[in-house]
């Protein structure tokens, strides 16, 4: 893209004409750098345009501050690639402006073809450091400590999905910021997945709390209705909270909004997109794009693997994928469908099944891999099905018993969400129980018989 195009597209103040007022204000504040050296925080529920605001911010910094050097990071490769992809799609960066740095061991196959041209791996990290926009995961940012760039090289360090990074992980990129005039920006949602910490000792010492979460619980970041009533109750110099959801159909927003966000989420998505599957023939109730499909399958483990899978659910997921991909009047492109399941083994099994029906391009992954992503249709397979271990509910639900994981899983879909799972097990978890009740009262439950406590809701 040449300079002229760029300038023309900048006739307005913003590259992206869609930005709402809060998003614009956030970009302006970050650009002005008034809060330095205090980190600027951009937070809000899923689909409220945090990443979209990050992309605009990067472009603005790049073009208005010619001496800027931006380091953009996220904890996962998926979230990191997404920023690179969205910047690419903006069509506003000249060749050589941005680089995506990968760990040397990252497999090429898993990288989107549109992201590949921007990629350099660890062996090329010295060359990569010449770019003005560097995009990498938090941990891979560590490679820059081995190059000859000055500490303090970057004028801006922006962390997307900062709520998912452990504090030490966040500090890897932040350690490279200019102490003199650097601006750190933390973007994320403390109600979505936090850092995955396996060590009990680390847990005891609080490593499962992200820097974003710890900072935002400090006085200066707190909600203050009296002082900041005009700006959504937060100090606008330091923090912007986004609440307009541009991703999902209202039927998919209602429950997470109630469970996690004080009913603050506003439905603002493009109607033509989120209503596109309302007449799909498999919907139990036309006009309501949710299905809860109850299955009393069996959970299984293989060999010495600790990970669970559930063959009956896997087959049902495959059936739904086939129906969606081959739907006569409104087929969903395979690249716009996602299958989420908390267990790695189930991911493998479903991938295998989908390959056998020529649907290998449907993304299948764990909840962690889906954070930050959105798809037209999402199918969730919850796997756990062992009904008679109720003495120890936590044990029989394992991974599922986590409100943050639940929140991420059910907020990825724009136009259709299908949940496949065993109601007799899921009813023991407060979040899934709420989803079951919501599905029953809205008459979108299909499948097996229900546990007695829910039977009364089933008309
Ligand atoms: N102001 C806006 N107007 C219209 N669509 C928007 C706006 N902000 C975000 N979106 C759209 O909403 C969806 C979710 O945005 P995203 O940046 O991924 O949200 P988040 O990072 O907060 O989860 C994207 O499809 C994005 O294009
Ligand atoms: Mg995001």
* Cα-to-centroid distance, 202 and ligand 1 (Å): 35
- pLDDT for 396 equals 56
pLDDT for 4: 39
Is residue 246 within 6 Å of ligand 1 at its C-beta? yes
Q: Are residues 400 and 254 in the same domain?
A: yes
Q: Are residues 138 and 283 in the same domain?
A: no
Strands (DSSP E) contained in 223-313 are 239-241, 244-245, 266-267, 290-294
Give the strands of the sheet with 445-447, arranged side by side: 363-365, 337-340, 375-381, 413-421, 290-294, 445-447
Distance CA 319, CA 238 (A): 48
CATH number at residue 206: 3.40.50.300
Looking at the fold, whether 44 and 159 belong to one and the same domain comes out as: yes
- What's the domain count of the chain? 2
Q: Which of 132, 129, 206 is nearest to 166 (CA)?
A: 206
Q: What is the DSSP string of 418-431?
A: EEEE-HHHHTTSHH
The radius of gyration of the chain from alpha carbons, rounded to an integer in Å, stands at: 22
Ligand 1 and 51: CB distance under 6 A: yes
137 CA to centre of ligand 2 in angstroms: 14
**Ligand 1 atom nearest to CA at 45:** 22
CA 17 → CA 12, 55, 95, 409, 437, distances in Å? 8, 13, 23, 30, 40
For residue 19 and ligand 1, the question of a CB distance below 6 A is answered with yes
User: Does residue 188 line the site of ligand 1, with CB under 6 A?
Assistant: no
What DSSP assignment string belongs to 296-356?
----B--TT----B-HHHHHHHHHHHHHHHT-SSSPPPGGGEEEE-S-HHHHHHHHHHHHH
Residue nearest to atom 26 of ligand 1 (CA): 49
- For 101, the token pair is 């740095």
Is there a single domain that holds both residue 185 and residue 333? no
Both 98 and 140 in one domain: the answer is yes
Let me know whether 221 and 301 are in one domain. Answer: no
Among 213, 242, 271, identify where a domain stops. Answer: 242
Residue 272 and residue 231 in one domain = no
Measure the CA–CA gap between 255 and 433, rounded to whole angstroms: 11
Residues 276 and 295 in one domain: yes
Give the Cα-Cα-Cα angle 216, 220, 224 (nearest 5 degrees): 95
CA–CA distance, 379 with 366 (Å, rounded to integer): 12
268 and 180 in one domain? no
The alpha carbon of 385 and the centre of ligand 2 are apart by a number of angstroms equal to 32
Q: Among 185, 208, 242, which residue terminates a domain?
A: 242
The residue ranges of the chain whose pLDDT is under 50 are 1-9, 11
Could you tell me the residue range of the domain that residue 383 belongs to?
Answer: 250-455
Contacts of 6 (CB under 8 A, 6+ apart): 63, 92, 94
Tokens 């750098």 belong to residue: 33
Cα of 52 to ligand 1 centre, how many Å? 6
Collect all residues with Cβ–Cβ distance below 8 Å to 147 and sequence separation of at least 6.
125, 126, 129
- 276 and 221 together in one domain: no
* CB atoms near residue 109 (< 10 Å): 5
Could you read off the pLDDT of 248-302 as tens digits, one per residue?
Answer: 999 999 999 999 998 989 999 999 999 999 999 999 999 999 999 999 988 888 8
CA 374 – ligand 2 centroid, Å: 9
Distance of alpha carbon 416 from its chain centroid, rounded? Answer: 17
Locate the ligand 1 atom nearest the alpha carbon of residue 82 and give its number.
Answer: 18
Angle 285-287-290 from CA coordinates, rounded to 5°: 65
| Smallest CA separation from ligand 1 atom 11, residue | 246
Do 154 and 177 touch, CB atoms closer than 8 A?
yes
Cβ–ligand 1 distance for 46 under 6 Å, the answer yes
Nearest CA, atom 14, ligand 1: 47
Please tell me the residue having the least CA distance from ligand 1 atom 5.
246
Alpha carbon distance 46, 412 (integer Å): 8
Give the pLDDT confidence score for residue 390 in this predicted structure. Answer: 53
The Å distance, Cα 247 to ligand 1 centre, comes to 6
Specify the ligand 1 atom closest to the Cα of 52: 17
**Which tens digits make up the pLDDT trace of 359-376?**
999 999 999 889 889 999
Same domain? For 269 and 386 the reply is yes
* Cβ of 20 below 6 Å from ligand 1: yes
Q: Is the domain of 134 the same as that of 264?
A: no
* Beta partners for residue 338, in sequence order: 363, 378
> Which residue, 242, 277, 311, sits at the end of a domain?
242
């Amino acid at each position: 893209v040449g300079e002229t195009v760029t300038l023309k597209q900048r006739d307005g103040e913003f590259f992206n004409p869609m930005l709402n007022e809060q998003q614009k204000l956030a970009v302006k504040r970050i650009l002005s750098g008034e809060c330095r050296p205090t980190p600027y925080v951009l937070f809000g529920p899923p689909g409220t345009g945090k990443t979209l605001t990050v992309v605009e911010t990067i472009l603005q910094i790049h073009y208005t501050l010619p001496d800027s050097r931006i380091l953009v990071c996220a904890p996962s490769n998926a979230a990191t690639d997404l920023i690179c992809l969205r910047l690419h799609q903006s069509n506003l960066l000249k060749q050589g402006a941005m680089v995506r740095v990968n760990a040397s061991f990252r497999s090429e196959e898993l990288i989107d073809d549109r992201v590949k041209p921007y990629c350099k791996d660890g062996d090329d990290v010295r060359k990569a450091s010449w770019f003005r926009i560097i995009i990498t995961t938090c941990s891979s940012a560590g490679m820059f400590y081995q190059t000859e760039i000055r500490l303090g090289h970057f004028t801006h360090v922006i962390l997307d999905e900062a709520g998912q990074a452990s504090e030490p992980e966040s500090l890897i990129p932040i350690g490279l910021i200019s102490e003199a005039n650097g601006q750190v920006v933390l973007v994320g949602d403390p109600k979505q997945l936090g850092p995955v910490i396996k060590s009990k000792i680390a847990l005891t010492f609080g490593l499962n709390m992200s820097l974003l979460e710890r900072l935002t619980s400090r006085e200066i970041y707190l909600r203050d209705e009296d002082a900041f009533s005009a700006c959504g109750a937060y100090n606008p110099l330091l923090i912007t909270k986004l609440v307009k959801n541009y991703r999902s159909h209202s039927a998919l927003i209602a429950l997470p909004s109630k469970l996690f966000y004080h009913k603050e989420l506003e439905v603002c998505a493009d109607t033509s997109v989120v209503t596109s599957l309302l007449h799909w023939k498999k919907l139990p109730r036309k006009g309501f794009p949710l299905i809860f499909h109850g299955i009393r399958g069996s959970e299984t483990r293989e060999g010495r693997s600790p990970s669970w899978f559930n063959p009956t659910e896997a087959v049902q997921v495959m059936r739904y994928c086939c129906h969606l991909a081959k739907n006569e009047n409104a087929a969903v492109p395979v690249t716009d469908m996602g299958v989420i399941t908390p267990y790695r083994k189930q991911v493998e099994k479903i991938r295998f099944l989908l390959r056998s029906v020529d649907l290998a391009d449907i993304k299948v992954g764990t909840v962690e891999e889906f954070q930050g992503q959105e798809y037209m249709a999402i199918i969730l397979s919850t796997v756990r099905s062992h009904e008679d271990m109720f003495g120890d509910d936590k044990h029989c639900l394992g991974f599922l018993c986590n409100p943050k994981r639940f929140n991420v899983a059910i907020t990825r879909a724009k136009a259709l969400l299908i949940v496949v799972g065993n109601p007799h097990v899921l009813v023991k978890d407060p979040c899934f129980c709420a989803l079951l009740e919501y599905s029953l009262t809205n008459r979108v439950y299909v499948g097996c018989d229900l546990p007695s406590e829910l039977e009364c809701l089933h008309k």
